[in-house]
Amino acid sequence: MIEFVTFLVLMALGYGFGQYAERKHYRSILEREKRFRSEVLVFQTGVPPEQGQGQDQDVRLVMGSVVISVDYFKRFLAGLRALFGGRVKSYESLLDRARREAVLRMQQEASKLGAGMVINLRMETASISKGEEKTVGSVEVLAYGTAIITRDARSRFEPTRFGRATELFERA
């Protein structure tokens, strides 16, 4: 009986806080994605399209890392999925948030360095708990890439010779 009450409390807490955090996080993600969409361009290729080899630019490694924990409710749902199979929807949204957050943090770092673009975007996922029992399941998502910073301006707040990335491409 005590176990059942504990279970219900954990489920309610997991659901309440988990859903609240998820909704809040998605709002923030959408808002920041909108901001960074044109501010820091992200390419998965090694060479930015139509960019050529510029002369006056620095390259820097930038990364964004996120560690997320599973709440009890999501884990219970995933546990049920282990019986029936199918999409583990409760984890999908969690990892979706983590990936987007990691890219956003990387963009933020690039933006601070004055970069207008990040090339060669890569992502990695690592389990921290490694499936150990009696530990909270948590996962790291790491996004990293090469930030291209025009030499004349270390900050994007100062206009550069080439201007920001968008202007650069406009010219090209």
Partner 1 sequence: MQYENPEIPEGINTSNEHPLKELVWLLGGVVLVSVIVGLFLVFATNLSIALVPFSYEQEIAAPFVAELEHEEGEISAYLQALAEDMSTWLDLPSDMSLQMHYIDEETVNAFATLGGHIFIYRGLVQAMPSENALAMVVAHEIAHIKQRDPIASLGRGVVFMIAWSLVTGASGSDIGGQALGQGGLLTLLSFSRDQERAADQEAIKAVEQRYGHIAGASALFEQLEKAQQGSADAVPQFFSSHPLNEDRSVDIEQLADAHAWQTAGELTPLPGFVSRRVAE
| Interface residues toward partner 1, by CB under 8 A | 15, 19, 33, 36-38, 41-42, 49-50, 73-74, 76-77, 80-81, 83-84, 87, 89-90, 92-93, 96, 165-166, 169-170, 172
| Residue whose CB is less far from partner 1, 89 or 161 | 89
Helix then strand count (H, E) for the chain reads 4, 4
Distance of closest approach, residue 170 Cβ to partner 1, in angstroms = 6
Distance of closest approach, residue 83 Cβ to partner 1, in angstroms = 7
| Residue whose CB is less far from partner 1, 33 or 158 | 33
Distance of closest approach, residue 154 Cβ to partner 1, in angstroms = 22
Distance of closest approach, residue 116 Cβ to partner 1, in angstroms = 10
Pairwise CA distance, residues 149 & 163, whole Å: 11
| Residue whose CB is less far from partner 1, 25 or 112 | 25
Which residues touch 154 (CB under 8 Å, ≥6 apart)?
A: 113, 114
Which of 24, 20, 126 has its CA nearest to residue 73? 20
Distance of closest approach, residue 138 Cβ to partner 1, in angstroms = 19
